[in-house]
Amino acid sequence: MKPDDTTAATSDAPASEPAKSQEGRLEARSPLETVGLIGGVVGITAIIFAGVLYAIDPRVLPLAIGNAAFGLVGVVTYAATNRRTFGRTMAGRSTTFIALEGLIVFGVLAAVAVINYFAAQSPKEWDLTRDGLYTLQEQSVQVASTLPQDVEVFGFFRPAEPARAVLTQTIDLYRQHTDRLKLTFINPDNPPAELIKKYDLNSASPRIVVTAANGQFAKLRTPTEEGMTNALIKVAQREARKVYFLRGHGEPAIDARTTEEGFAWAASGLRNEGFAVEATTLVDKANVPRDASIVILAGARSALLPNEVQALKAFLDRGGRAMVLLEPGYEYGLESIFRPYGVLVGDDLVIDPSPVTKAQGFGPDTSIIRSFEAHPITNKLEGSAAVFPKARSVQPRVNLAQVTVTTLINSSPSAWGETSYRDTTRFERDENDVPGPVPIAVAIVRDTAANRSKKTDEARLVVFGDFGFITNRFATMVANRDLFLNAANWLAGDEDRITIRPRPRYGDRLPLTERQQYGIMFFSVNLLPLLIIGLGFSVWAIRQRQ
């Protein structure tokens, strides 16, 4: 064989591959083992979360137990799917470092939990909202901290109603400053009959009742801070305010709800404002009841007796407060009161030929008032309207010493006071009539400071030329009941009924039910952080295993 042939044969032979080292080769892992590893890491994280959640808020014990159970399932899953490496991993040198890192993480979480726990137990809070949504104003704090008697708040709400949560939040703010406030919720679908009767509740009533130990109560439609503070002042810090409707001369009853001429709606409105309301007669009495804050004479069909007139006059002269609601065609015998108080009551019927009145289905003897004169009674009614089914003129007398008379309501300029209303139903304006605009309501203030037996330093009197606007038929129309209640509050000295003015607050509260709050906590505080942290540690564990 030639040398060249030998070389060629050698080059054609397959070259032998070098032997590969087994060191550093990755151990094959099945997908099931990887899933088990992830389950174990997430499980341990869930167990840690269970302890942290319970430390922060013991009320979430069911959620903590659920986390712990889920965590145990994850750990068991890891042990079952990684039996080959479980013992080796536990005996490996990296286990010490893993345990140390886990201990550090657990220590940090435990420290956060302890801090949150003690923070939750502390009554100290910081309101970081821009407008102080969760902080009472100074006046409210003062009212709450100086409550002289126990107050109970009844909320007629179903468990899932958002207003229930708002009321709870509001009461909790006051409870930070007093231990005299109690909150009780009652299902409106089955309320106790005694509460319905005691607080004069019906389907249209406000659903929040604030009642004090002295028996006074007030009602609220919305659980606002200003409303709650006003209610606390009315029921707990002010003397009882009592309104008496006079009877004995054919006046409608204050408890007649089924008749159009009853005063049930008006009386209910007064009770909602915190007044106690009763009917009384002066026919056999020489004086107005001593506990009377306001006396109302409405819808009398005959003149008062001399002793009644004298009792009313003495009541006013001592600084009392009264409201008189008249009707055309009747004599009341009150000239001895009206004259010194600057009131001129005309014997006429206000006629308003406005087509708007006719379009609303009323006759010409009905006046629809769309503008009011400036006065605390009417200032908040601007832009609204009032309906007077039959009115007579009530004009002010001026230039009286120690007497201020203010016109509250004028008819439209096209109306007039018909003096021949008894003789005809075809109303035509003539020279004997009162030209429009015709005043039909006045408010009077008279100085009584010099009276040694005075009740207050000034007497207040409101006279309307119509009583029909507060009857059951008309009380709920437009601003009728508001006008009446404003007059009552002014007479009682509450012309600025809102005792605190809320500062502008631009944040919006989102009332949540207990179930909704629990759901938000589960997803945002528990589930999402658990998955993020658990999967993060899972990725780290998989890389460490490789």
The pLDDT-based confidence of 442 (bands split at 50, 70, 90) is very high
Are 325 and 473 in the same domain? Answer: yes
User: The whole model's pTM is what?
Assistant: 0.63
pLDDT at res. 498: 37
Identify whether residues 357 and 421 lie together within a single domain: yes
- Tell the residue number behind the tokens 């007059």, with chain if given: 487
Beta pairing class for 367-369 and 386-388: antiparallel
Find tokens 């010409």 and name the residue: 364
Beta-sheet strand order (sheet of 208-212) = 181-185, 151-155, 208-212, 217-220
* Same domain for 317 and 359: yes
**Is residue 17 assigned to a domain?**
no
269 and 369 in a single domain? The answer is yes
Q: What pLDDT, on the 0 to 100 scale, is given for residue 99?
A: 64
What is the pLDDT, as a whole number, of residue 62? 80
In a domain, residue 228? The reply is no
Q: Which of 453, 475, 491 is the last residue of a domain?
A: 491
Taking 70 as the threshold, does the pLDDT of residue 14 lie above it? no
**Which band of pLDDT confidence, cut at 50, 70 and 90, is reported for residue 201?**
confident
Q: When comparing pLDDT for 12 and 196, which is higher? A: 196
Query: Would you say residue 130 lies in a domain?
Result: no
Is residue 504 a part of any domain in this protein? no
pLDDT in tens, 328-370: 999 999 999 999 999 999 999 999 988 888 778 888 999 999 8
Cis omega (within 30 of 0) for bond into 435:
no
Q: Please give the sequence-ordered ranges of beta strands (E in DSSP) within 426-508, or none if there are none.
A: 434-435, 439-447, 458-464
Residue where a domain stops, chosen among 211, 231, 264? 211
Whether 65 maps to a domain, the answer reads yes
pLDDT greater than 90 at residue 6? no
The Cα-based distances of 142 to 137, 182, 217, 526 in angstroms read 9, 18, 20, 40
In a domain, 131, yes or no: no
Instruction: Kindly report which listed range (94-108, 277-291, 526-540) carries the lowest average pLDDT score.
Output: 94-108
Per-residue confidence (pLDDT) for residue 10, from 0 to 100: 47
CATH code of 161's domain: 3.40.30.10
255 CB-near residues (< 8 Å, 6+ apart): 262, 264, 267
Taking CA atoms, 274 is separated from 122, 149, 205, 395, in Å, by 37, 17, 13, 31
At 503, the pLDDT band (50, 70, 90 cuts) reads very low
- Tell whether 110 and 157 lie within a shared domain: no
**Are residue 281 and residue 425 in the same domain, yes or no?**
yes
Residue 378: per-residue pLDDT: 93
Same domain, 376 and 303: yes
Residue 187 in this model has a pLDDT that exceeds 80 = yes
**Structure tokens that stand for 185 in this block:** 């919720």
The verdict on residue 270 lying in a domain is yes
Angstrom CA distances, 525 to 64, 70, 476, 522, 530, stand at: 12, 16, 50, 6, 8
Q: Residue 425: which CATH number?
A: 3.40.50.880
Report if residue 541 sits inside a domain. yes
Q: How many domains does the chain have?
A: 3
- Identify the domain containing residue 259 by its residue range: 239-491
Q: What is the pLDDT of residue 156?
A: 95
Please answer whether residues 147 and 232 qualify as being in contact, where contact means their C-beta atoms are separated by less than 8 angstroms. yes
Q: Which amino acid is at 154?
A: F
Domain shared by 308 and 340, yes or no: yes
474, two tokens: 């008309």
Taking alpha carbons only, the member of 97, 80, 99 closest to residue 35 is 80
Which of 120-124, 173-177, 528-532 has the highest average model confidence (pLDDT)? 173-177
If phi > 0 it is left, if psi is from -120 to 50 it is alpha, else beta; for residue 485 that is: alpha
Q: Are 183 and 167 in contact (CB under 8 A)?
A: yes
Judge contact between 384 and 360, C-beta under 8 A: no
- Residue 24 predicted with pLDDT over 90: no
- Note whether 264 and 388 are same-domain residues: yes
Do 300 and 160 belong together in one domain? no
pLDDT over threshold 50, residue 239: yes
| Residue entry with tokens 């000239």 | 335
Banded model confidence at residue 307, pLDDT cuts 50, 70, 90: very high
* Max mean pLDDT range (96-100, 219-223, 518-522): 219-223
Beta bridge partners of 463: 324, 442
* Co-location of 341 and 192 in the same domain: no
* Of 114-128, 276-290, 334-348, 470-484, minimum mean pLDDT range: 114-128
What DSSP string runs through 27-57? Answer: PP--HHHHHHHHHHHHHHHHHHHHHHHHHH-
Whether residues 71 and 193 fall in one domain: no
**Chain-wide mean pLDDT for the chain?**
82
